[in-house]
Structure 1
């Protein structure tokens, strides 16, 4: 199987060859032996060295900055999916890519409504709370008074402390969330939003700072959690996480299903209103 550099070379070549010279004000000319633009034309239009771009298309192991790759992507007129693929193959994080520019599919909102009274919510890789149903707000401790920009699971847990006293395994789960956050941030080390959240958490929460300094990393998996709800009582749940296609990058739908019959009965006590799932501002 071809390696990453070979895949990158083949991808660039395919995108270059689909472009019409006339779209760039270039003559087609009788001497063109290949379809699309020439390598030197792409390099000139992108403002990069001809030799460097040639090596890139030859699959050589060379490095590229996000700025240079962005110029190449613009020249090749890549759509968002193609641009993301380019950066992935190059092993470079795209700082210019928006985090939540894509809205949630309506089917996801409908799913959160359909699973009620099971709590369900959507987070991205940074744990920003993008949407939730009423039962999720109930079991997570409520968000009244929390600024929209702070609707983040990490912020709610470590600064607002909405889960402290509600989740039986609070310390264990908090440490695990920091490990998940660290693993996710490894793909976004220079993104301003990620760095700002990390720095704010370090400044506001000694507990977060303690866990962060452990350098643990984790990955999403099925978990068993127990909540002590002030009205519904003890609720034991199993978590399920589903990747959302066609939504914001790294978005996941998380559903809490009851672990036993008494927990299922307690979940029905969480139902407050028949309102549809609500979307939290990103």
Structure 2
């Protein structure tokens, strides 16, 4: 599944081509996504100008004068700006033609993504209860510490909860906990303020590095320009179960938590 860095990379890739452009045509080839694409979406968008392309958690916002299109890439979705006569692919479900003649094309083989309309994106049920952005001033170790008091939840599950902080998916939770030296099964309520300060710092560092390097290459993801990201080459623990730890040379252990792969160093992470 595309994580926050992949979504942010997509936003940065499509924004220069979309912002300020008037929508001249909308084609819904298959509206049966995770939630049905609104039947009136083409009518709502026709003639509207895309004022900005923003991101909240893993959702992309196409902001128009009349409202906002909320896009989620789901498990396997991607957005590309088509500048030539590239043929339509089997899983190209939504297509927006811009005044420039370029086409914003949404491809999603598994159809777990979504295209929804919101008059006010901030009050939409998918958005209104989300936690702070991990790269914003609203996110800090102190905030994590306060929210964790009395919580018996494992710390890995805690930081992956979108009500606590958005966008810390499985890959980046593994990496941040390793850098912070925290065992993924440690109870969130048993971690000190100092360690939460360090964890907040490693979450920021990990996500920022992934964004700069174009996102992690996942099996079903390519960037908006068709090129894969390269952060996967820099992963320290995720996908390295059984390999030696880069810090102490101990063997990295791989377990399942909430049906997700979890890799950690039994010596470095406590």
* TM more than 0.5: no
Structure 1 or 2: more strand by fraction: 2
TM-score, normalising length: structure 2? 0.29
Q: If you compute each CA radius of gyration, which structure gives the higher value, 1 or 2?
A: 1
Structure 1 or 2: more helix by fraction: 1
